Chain A
Amino acid sequence: MAQVKFESVTKRYGDVLALGDLTLDIGDREFLVFVGPSGCGKTTTLRLLAGLETVTTGHLYIGDRQVNDLSPKDRDIAMVFQSYALYPHLSVYDNMAFSLELQGLGKGEIQQRVQRAAQQMGIEALLQRKPKQLSGGQRQRVAVGRAIVRHPAVFLMDEPLSNLDAQLRVQARTEISRLHRELESTVIYVTHDQVEAMTLGTRIAILNQGVLQQIATPQTLYSAPSNKFVAGFIGSPAMNFFDGALVEMADQLWFKAEALTLALPPTALAQYRRYVGQRVICGLRPEDIHDPRYIPPGTVTTPLKGIISHTESMGHEIIVYPTLGDGQTYAARVDRRSTLAPGDSGELAVAIAAPHFFDPHTEAALTTAVDGP
């Protein structure tokens, strides 16, 4: 019932383009996450949908109604604000009942719905308290409770977890995920935190400077980023990029850069034949660079020489930062048993099946002969 559709939606503030020509279909019951660096237009997108900003050009649909000119209250949506925006002079109960009272519902029904929502959020014991008597985590629950009590067609959430400490955030994330399954409604969620995005979203839309970069499932974003921005944005530490060229030698495709010479798997030649001889950017994820002593079985690798500049032990893994032949420092995620230490002129191993290639001018991912035109 509640698909959301953006049709060439553009938002300008004077001369500043906040959102450029966004076309997007969000399915019923989908959990769509908008993610991007600050100022990328993700919050603007949410506010346009909420009706707190007006669309400059384009069309916006919720369900099958065009909502461009509808006021927020007529759009059948509820929003959870980053600051929670709880009404400070009202008790938790009255905060949750506020919208229902405005709808003109009877006292009995209001009570019933508030109780039900409070139960779902586990805040029954707090109903008589004022917001300032609540902890951060409790406020967050009340804010979500205030949204779900209305049974809206679409939930909008604007970084609802960013004011929580790390432990609570993980817990609240699980809870939001559970709520989404229970409520069976469409959720549109804005965050700058890629972990939240990857764990919550059924699909993720990545925005940069007001332009949609890619919209896909978390797995696709990780394994097949459509451009260099997406590749660099998803994954932590970020993907390593090497400027170089593709060359063909002895019936095999090679990527050659100052810091790296990489023999590509036999299938790559057919896929990338038309780029042979051209300059490209090669992207390697830190997790595809290994300590040679601990290469996962079955991985074909090629060696890589560098001097270890520093290391970060995370317990379950070690992040190693080698400085390579071009003087740049890259990142590698190696096995926790690795003994590589700063100052070592160590050897690393690159999994040869893993590289991503991008056009150095457009920064778009190179299309392979198999899937491209």
Chain B
Amino acid sequence: MPSIPRAPVHLVLVSLSLLWTMPSLGLLVSSLRPPEDVLTTGWWTVFRHPFDITQYSLENYRAVLGAEGMGQALLNSFTIAIPATVMPIAIATFAAYALAWMRFPGRQWLFMAIVALLVVPLQMTFIPLLRAYRDLGLTSTFPGVWLAHSGYSLPLGIYLLRNYMGALPRDLIEAAAMDGASHLQIMTRLVVPLSMPAIASFAVFQFLWVWNDLLVALVFLGGTPTVAPLTLTLTNLVGSRGQDWHLLTAGAFMTMVVPLLVFFTLQRYFVRGLLAGSIKG
């Protein structure tokens, strides 16, 4: 490879990163400014005296969390996202183990059928699912949306985990079987600990996907405010308080902060997840 001088490369990378960070930074700063300031001057004016504490306030957040119902929505988002992450992981882990390491007739066909489900657009499933939900009384309930998210993510989850587990050395599984472990013990004591990188990256993906999801929540939860997640409430906020930037920015930043935290704490799994299957770790 021809060697590229380092300094220009770094310069370009740093400026690109700054450019990309700009909108989020603006959002954060605006959300912390009093409404009058937001409406009269641009957010960058705070940098005239960046350490002047008096120009910031948490009032917007108080308003959004309380009166605008984002507090309830934050809770709802967690209530939706955590089970909707745990459930598919649990199911996909069992399924992936069975598909990778248990011998039963039709195993390959079953796996192919599951992989084939990856191409089904989720929009196709709304009408039949909604009908079923209506009959089962699952519309506008948390279990309904948990099941929907689980179902949508299972093909990818099973596919990723099965491939990862299938790449574990056969000798290990056989050694455990000879040591007296049942399938369940092989799975819980050997395969799951060894598949942690894949399980963690799938968990990060799934959590972020569910957290950021608007479509599925809108379809299966409808407009019911008691169960609406952040994304729904924020959209409604845009409708009802479209001019109040101080509230919108505070609401938007609250929605963002959880994915940001997840991303920063679990970054290495995120990157590894992107590479899942392409290289052996």
Contact = CB atoms under 8 A, between A and B. Distances in A.
Interface residues of B, number: 17
Contacts of A88: 172, 194
A52 B179 contact: no
Given A102-B181, A102-B185, A79 B175 contact: yes
Contacts of B180: 73, 99, 102-103
A50 B194 CA distance: 24
Contacts of B175: 79, 81, 85, 87
Contacts of A71: 177
Contacts of B174: 50, 52, 72, 79, 81, 85
Interface residues of A, number: 23
A77 B175 CA distance: 11
A85 B177 contact: no
B190 interface: yes
B239 interface: no
A87 B176 contact: yes
Contact of B178 (A72, A83, A89): A72
With most chain B CB atoms within 10 A of its CB, the pick from A50, A77, A85, A103 is A85
Nearest to A54: B103
A87 B172 contact: yes
B179 A102 contact: yes
Contacts of A103: 180
Given A73-B181, A98-B176, A102-B180, A85 B171 contact: yes
Interface in B154-205: 169, 171-172, 174-182, 185, 189-190, 193-194
A87 B177 CA distance: 12
Contacts of B172: 85, 87-88
Contact of B193 (A72, A73, A89): A89
Given A87-B190, A88-B194, A89-B194, A99 B171 contact: no
B220 to A, nearest CB: 39
Contact of A99 (B169, B179, B190, B193): B179
With most chain B CB atoms within 10 A of its CB, the pick from A84, A98, A103, A146 is A98
A73 B169 contact: no
Contacts of A161: none
Contact of A77 (B178, B181, B182, B185): B178
B277 to A, nearest CB: 20
A274 B174 CA distance: 54
Interface string B9-39: 0000000000000000000000000000000
Nearest to B174: A52
A189 to B, nearest CB: 16
25 contacts: A50-B178, A52-B177, A71-B177, A72-B177, A72-B178, A73-B180, A73-B182, A77-B178, A78-B178, A79-B178, A81-B171, A81-B174, A81-B175, A82-B171, A84-B171, A85-B169, A85-B171, A87-B175, A87-B176, A88-B194, A89-B193, A89-B194, A98-B179, A102-B179, A102-B180
Interface of B: 169, 171-172, 174-182, 185, 189-190, 193-194
Given A72-B178, A85-B175, A99-B180, 10 more contacts: A52-B177, A72-B177, A73-B182, A79-B174, A79-B178, A81-B175, A87-B176, A88-B172, A102-B180, A103-B180
